[in-house]
A and B are shown apart, each in its own frame.
Chain A
């Protein structure tokens, strides 16, 4: 069997596994967020928080919950890194400096997991497990909570109530993320991922001498890192490191984990708005883009254009032998079309066009299928835009899922889609214009610019992967990517929740012969087109200077 066929079969196996999980997981998540019963452990937690989980919140209150919880998260994680030097179980690692602590704290709270530090020589056991991994869970749960609030906005009428933030946060963590992670972590250990709390480990080598590595709670963190679409590696090499991703099977399993919740949430959406077909239409949009991108990536990576790759005879630079070109291509597309940012191969050494596909994937807004929660709400915003465009064509007030898309709704949706491109382009342009920041570039020419464009695309879209040659551990990049991550995460959430509130107050519009049928393939086609055109027009000039220039030259 050739590597291309093996790559295609792995893609098909992945699709099969995702399809099997789709209905049970999607239905289960719908029950989790619709049930009025509390588990005993949850009632203890609510007592600990001092919150009544049965109080309904309007959108400002829900938003205040999100912001307060995230602000406290940033502060706590910052503090934990700053005092690492005196914490027990820190392997003798010193405290992290202020700029890097700020960047890392923001990065994990915003579900980005951009890392300007080297995992294995910076973070001890306490910061990794009780700091970073905790945010892997709760930032994912916050993302799902906001998505569920928007879904309730579509599903409810003549109320402004969107649910209870604390209940959604706790349920997402306790009933969805923790159980899935326990199972996944044990599978990973069984395949060879490490899981211990021993200190720095020194072993002999075959030719004599010694090597040192640090163990840690790697498998448990790896599991939630993928399931929560976080992506922050325990080690610098992330999922390319054999201790994080030991076998070809774990590699495919990790791709499955990072896709399963974002895809299944479309089922949850369908169930909660009372029309499973609407969920399928959104799923079809996501799947079309994802499969299309994987096909393009495999094509360019197997063709291995680029002078060094041509001499080598294959695009194996930055890729692991056990994983190979095919599965690395699937991973790279999946991690950048979700907000994960974990890598099993290094995107900077991909072909020029392959690197461009990873950047474009993030620039679509990470909605195919996107991050846990953030993918669904991002896609629903695009659906609102698409029905608006369709409404303009026929001269009719647009509506989606029985709700009118009026001036207020469109303003909020438009603000949402403008924020991220503005952040990406302004920060990238400023970095190129100033004298010092370009010194961080490893490569020169078009690829050097791509490194900077990638950095801010990744930060503002909360992805976390990188063209990792860029030295991001400078005051400029630590601060500016930190700001891009904060604004790129929370400003969109403000508009999503405001939109949810305004939709929930409406009374439903009856379906008539003139209603655009948003559950039909025609709408899926319209939505895919709208996404590609809007993103294409926004980013084309920047892409032409970076990856397109590089890809076309080779």
Chain B
């Protein structure tokens, strides 16, 4: 009996030492080494891909923002984005999806409301948006709630409104969207995107210039 207790103790002691040594390698040396390389070679990216307008940081090119006025291009809905409830000393963004099922009545209402708003907001005196024109990404929440991108067709849908509100010509704004459209990587990876923050920064500078 005594023998087996001391054997177990010896085994657990070896296990603990193994854990501590491997923690040193994989939990201290590894992340510090990767951080060193990352900070030296890819400083901006390793720190969140911050993006500036007029010399001021206005966010990250990877993190979508909410609350653009209708003068600007709109991003995707983010109904799953949470509020910080655990650690209230910060106002951290809490990423997340709605997790509503495909036949959920709540989701049906969210999508219908979003579609009606997209149609209404983007129809101008001489340009009427049809509900069938509205792409899926315009009325659904993304997985992270922080999707920085919209589809090129959603961007195109907003061109007439943006042009009218900023007193620009439709062709000027169309060109802007085209310049900020990224195709699939290597032609087949992922989907085409328009980065909303970058597009709006370019729009603002175009408006200021003209």
Contacts and interface: CB of A to CB of B under 8 A. Distances in A.
A540 interface: no
A341 to B, nearest CB: 14
A221 B208 CA distance: 43
Contacts of A64: 11
19 contacts: A1-B187, A5-B188, A49-B18, A69-B18, A178-B30, A213-B63, A240-B97, A248-B189, A308-B108, A311-B115, A313-B135, A318-B141, A319-B140, A319-B142, A321-B142, A327-B190, A351-B102, A352-B103, A443-B101
A169 B35 CA distance: 25
In the A-B complex, the 9 residue pairs with the closest CB atoms = A248-B190, A306-B102, A314-B136, A240-B143, A324-B191, A469-B99, A237-B95, A237-B144, A346-B97
Contacts of A121: 84-87, 90, 92, 94
A297 to B, nearest CB: 14
Interface in A171-219: 173-174, 177-178, 181-182, 185-186, 189-198, 200-201, 203-207, 209-215, 217, 219
Given A203-B48, A213-B63, A241-B146, 16 more contacts: A1-B188, A45-B22, A48-B18, A50-B13, A121-B87, A169-B18, A190-B41, A194-B46, A206-B59, A207-B65, A236-B82, A307-B102, A312-B115, A317-B107, A349-B97, A443-B100
Contacts of A51: 14, 18
Contacts of B60: 203, 213
Interface stretch (A127-135, A262-270, A276-284, A421-429): A127-135
B84 to A, nearest CB: 5
Interface in A116-134: 117-118, 120-122, 129-131, 133-134
Contacts of B59: 203-206, 211
Contacts of A312: 111, 115, 136, 139-140
A322 interface: yes
B92 A344 contact: no
Given A48-B21, A313-B134, A320-B142, A200 B92 contact: yes
B172 interface: no
A76 interface: yes
Most chain-B CB neighbours within 10 Å: which of A224, A246, A316?
A316
A306 B103 contact: yes
A345 B45 contact: no
B50 to A, nearest CB: 6
Interface string A56-85: 000000001100110111001000000000
Interface string B35-68: 1011101100111111001001111101101011
Contacts of B150: 321
A251 B189 CA distance: 9
Interface string A293-321: 00000000000111111011111111111
B87 A554 contact: no
Contacts of B107: 308, 317, 349
A322 B149 contact: yes
A89 to B, nearest CB: 12
A308 B103 contact: yes
Interface residues of B, number: 105
Interface residues of A, number: 128
A183 to B, nearest CB: 10
B58 A206 contact: yes
Given A237-B97, A311-B115, A321 B151 contact: yes
A440 interface: no
Contacts of B14: 49-51, 68, 166
A320 B143 contact: yes
B47 A323 contact: no
Most chain-A CB neighbours within 10 Å: which of B37, B39, B103?
B103
Interface string A466-506: 01110000000000000000000000000000000000000
Contacts of A196: 35, 38-39, 46-48
Interface string B133-161: 01111011111111111110000000000
Contacts of B140: 312, 314, 316-319
Nearest to B56: A204
Contacts of A352: 101-103
Interface stretch (B119-127, B163-171, B193-201): B193-201
Nearest to B53: A206
Contact of A320 (B67, B134, B144): B144
A469 B87 CA distance: 21
Given A252-B189, A316-B137, A343-B143, A1 B100 contact: no
Contacts of B31: 129, 133, 217, 220-221
Contacts of A174: 25
Contacts of B25: 45, 173-174, 178
